[in-house]
C-alpha cells in the first residue's frame, strides 16, 4: 500500500507491533455487543481486545476513534462518526478507544492530540484526520477509505439487524443536490467533477461552509492522487526552493496526518524566498489552515509563525 492519499499507511507514525500478537477472534466480540441479534457497528476497543480488531480489519475496514471524556472536540466529532458509520450499513465499523483507559493504544497510534481518527485495512494503519471536522468531510474521507479498502480486497460487510424506528428521532435530511453530486463523484474517484459541484454550490451560496470545507478537501485529494511519496520527497530535497516540489510534499504530509511537518516545510520555504515570490506560499498555507481547522492548536501556532515572518 503506497498510495499517500487518505488511505495511505502511516509510515513510521504508528507502531502496533505490541498489539498484533494478542489473541484474535473472527468477529468483533469485544465491545461489539449484539444489537437486535446482530453485531454492532460501533463498539469500544481496549488494549487487551485490539488483536481482535486488527483481525476484523482483514474483512471490513475499521475506523478507530481515539478520544477522552475531557475532550470537547471529541464529543462534537463522535456522534458524527457514529452517524456516518451506521448510514454505511456495515461497509465499515467504528472502534472507539478511550486514550486515558488504554495507554498502549494511545502510544501505539502516537496520539499527540485528540480527537484522532485513523483506520485499519487488512491490519495496516491508515491516517484519516485529527481534530473535529464537518460531517461532509467525514463522508468524503470515508468514501476514500472504502475505495482504498476495495483496492486491497477488503470488501466484506458486518450484518446488522433492523433497528426499531425511533418516533422521537427526526427524519434524516437529504444532502443538497450539489453536495450529493460531489459526494457521488468522490466515491467514483472523479475529483474534478466533485470540485465543479462544490464550486457551483459556493457560487449559489458563498456562505456554504460545508461546500467550502469539502472543496478544500477534494482539491487536496486531487493534488495528491497518483503522487509517489518517495519521489516527491527526493525532488523536494534536491530543490529546497522549488515551490511546486515543496507544495507536493506538504500536501502529502497533510493527507498523511503530518500536519506540523507540512506547516514547518512551507514556513521555512516562505522565510527563504524573496519577498516578491512569497505570495503563492502564503496562499497555500492559508488554504491548508482552513482545511485543518482554524481552531486547531497547530494552525494557531503556524499562523503566529507566519505573522512573525510578515512583520
CB 52 within 8 A of CB 29: yes
Q: How many helices (H) and strands (E) in the chain?
A: 13, 5
- The residue annotated as part of the active site, out of 74, 92, 220, 306, is 74
Q: Is 71 designated active site? A: yes
Give the CA angle between residues 145, 65, 220 to the nearest 5°.
40
Whole-number Å distance between alpha carbons of 5 and 309: 30
Q: Is 74 designated active site? A: yes
- The residue annotated as part of the active site, out of 62, 71, 111, 126, is 71
Find, among 91, 89, 109, 88, the residue nearest to 45 by Cα.
109
**Cα-flanking dihedrals φ and ψ of residue 170, to 5°?**
-65, 150
DSSP one-letter string for 102-158: -HHHHHHTT-SSSSEEEEEETTEEEEEEES---HHHHHHHHHHHHHHHHHTT-----
Residues annotated as part of the active site: 71, 74
Amino acid at each position: 500500500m503506497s498510495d499517500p492519499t487518505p488511505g495511505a499507511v502511516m509510515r513510521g507514525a504508528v507502531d502496533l507491533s505490541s498489539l498484533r500478537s494478542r489473541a484474535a477472534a473472527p468477529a468483533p466480540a469485544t465491545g461489539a455487543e449484539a444489537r437486535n441479534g446482530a453485531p454492532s457497528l460501533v463498539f469500544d476497543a481496549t488494549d487487551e481486545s485490539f488483536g481482535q480488531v486488527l483481525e476484523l480489519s482483514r474483512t471490513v475496514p475499521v475506523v478507530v476513534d481515539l478520544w477522552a471524556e475531557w475532550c470537547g472536540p471529541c464529543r462534537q466529532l463522535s456522534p458524527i462518526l457514529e452517524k456516518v458509520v451506521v448510514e454505511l450499513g456495515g461497509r465499515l465499523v467504528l472502534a472507539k478507544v478511550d486514550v486515558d483507559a488504554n495507554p498502549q493504544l494511545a502510544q501505539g497510534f502516537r496520539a499527540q492530540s485528540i480527537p484522532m481518527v485513523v483506520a485499519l485495512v487488512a491490519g495496516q494503519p491508515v491516517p484519516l484526520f485529527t481534530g473535529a471536522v464537518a460531517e461532509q468531510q467525514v463522508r468524503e474521507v470515508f468514501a476514500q477509505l472504502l475505495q482504498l479498502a476495495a483496492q486491497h480486497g477488503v470488501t466484506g460487510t458486518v450484518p446488522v439487524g433492523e433497528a426499531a424506528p425511533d418516533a422521537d428521532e427526526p427524519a434524516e435530511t437529504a444532502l443538497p443536490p450539489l453536495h450529493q453530486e460531489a459526494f457521488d463523484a468522490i466515491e467514483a474517484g472523479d475529483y474534478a467533477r466533485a470540485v465543479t459541484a462544490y464550486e457551483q454550490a459556493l457560487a449559489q451560496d458563498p456562505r456554504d461552509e460545508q461546500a467550502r470545507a469539502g472543496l478544500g478537501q477534494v482539491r487536496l485529494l486531487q493534488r495528491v492522487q497518483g503522487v509517489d511519496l518517495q519521489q516527491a520527497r527526493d525532488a523536494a530535497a534536491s530543490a529546497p526552493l522549488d515551490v511546486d516540489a515543496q507544495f507536493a510534499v506538504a500536501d502529502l504530509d497533510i493527507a498523511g496526518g503530518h500536519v506540523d511537518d507540512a506547516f514547518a516545510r512551507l514556513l521555512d520555504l516562505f522565510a527563504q524566498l524573496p519577498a516578491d515570490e512569497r505570495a503563492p506560499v502564503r496562499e497555500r498555507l492559508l488554504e491548508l489552515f482552513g482545511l485543518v481547522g482554524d481552531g486547531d492548536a497547530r494552525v494557531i501556532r503556524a499562523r503566529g509563525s507566519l505573522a512573525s515572518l510578515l512583520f
